[in-house]
Structure formats: C-alpha cells, structure tokens
Amino acid sequence: MALHFALASPRDTGPYLPIEGTFANAENVGCYEAITALPPEYISSINDIKALDILVEEHGTEILHVLEAYAATESLRKAAAQVFMHHNTVAYWVRKSERVLGFQSDAPYRRSRLMLALCLRRVRENTEEL
C-alpha cells in the first residue's frame, strides 16, 4: 500500500531527502491509506488532478516536486532549500500553478488540498504501474 506513494529514487543509495517521497515509510501513511482504494479513472476525473496533469504536460514533472516541497514544508524558503532553487523561483512556480489549479495554496485549508491532490495523482500514477 505504501508503494502507491513512493517515487523512484534519483540515487542508488541513501540517505534520501524527505522531498524524495511524500511519505518516507509505511508508518507515515496513516489515513491516507484510504485513497489507495480509489480507482485511477475516478482520480483522473477530479478537477484538481486534471489541473496537475495540465501543469505536468506544460512544464514537466519537476513542477510536481516544487509543489510537493511547498505543500510539505509550508514555506517557500524551506521548499526552495529542498529542491535546490531560489525561493523566488519556487514562488514563481507556485503562483503559476495556482492560476491553473484555481485556488491560492496559502489560503486556509488550501495547502492541504494541494497536498491531497498531489498524493492522489501519485497514487493514480503508481497504481497504473503496480
């Protein structure tokens, strides 16, 4: 079940950075386990997932790493450190993404919506591969 949230590592050996996976191990999955039961077709029908797909189509998968870092750290500067970018660059990609997503991710409860959308998309992608 935890494999639904995993990413292939860019390196052969650890230590791995926290951003290299939404959940570092199975104990951290918790209630997110429920979304692994959703069919990929249903996940694909969600507007937030459609928006993320558009972003990936236009800008590549790197934008997902930036958004995951931002959603996980709740800070442009911390996210920038994790993805090795300047914080203004991270801010640029977050704002660009917000226009496609249709909501500001720094508004109350919106960062969790962004993280859930990112998790759902990852589950969908990994379900198709498993």
Class at the top of the CATH hierarchy for domain 2-129 = mainly alpha
User: Between 91 and 111, where is the model more confident?
Assistant: 91
Q: From 15, 22, 19, 24, select the one nearest 81 (Cα to Cα).
A: 19
The whole-chain average pLDDT of the chain stands at 85
Buried b (16+ CB within 10 A) or exposed e, 99-113: ebbeeebeeeeebee
Residue 18 pLDDT level (bands cut at 50, 70, 90): low
- Report how far residue 55's alpha carbon sits from residue 35's, in angstroms, rounded to the nearest whole number: 22
For the stretch 35-82, pLDDT in tens is: 888 999 999 999 999 999 999 999 999 999 999 999 988 899 999 998
Is residue 119 within 8 A of residue 46, CB to CB? The reply is: no
Domain limits of the chain? 2-129
User: Between 2 and 99, where is the model more confident?
Assistant: 99
Tell me the residue type at 9.
Answer: S
Tokens 């993805």 correspond to 83
Residue 32 pLDDT level (bands cut at 50, 70, 90): confident
pLDDT surpasses 70 at 100: yes
Residue 87 pLDDT level (bands cut at 50, 70, 90): very high
Predicted confidence at residue 106, as pLDDT, reads: 87
> Residue range 1-30: average pLDDT?
61
Is residue 118 within 8 A of residue 105, CB to CB? The reply is: no
Which stretch, 8-12, 61-65, 108-112, has highest mean pLDDT? Answer: 61-65
pLDDT surpasses 60 at 127: yes
C-beta pairs of 75-82 under 8 Å, 24+ apart in sequence: 82/17, 82/18, 82/19
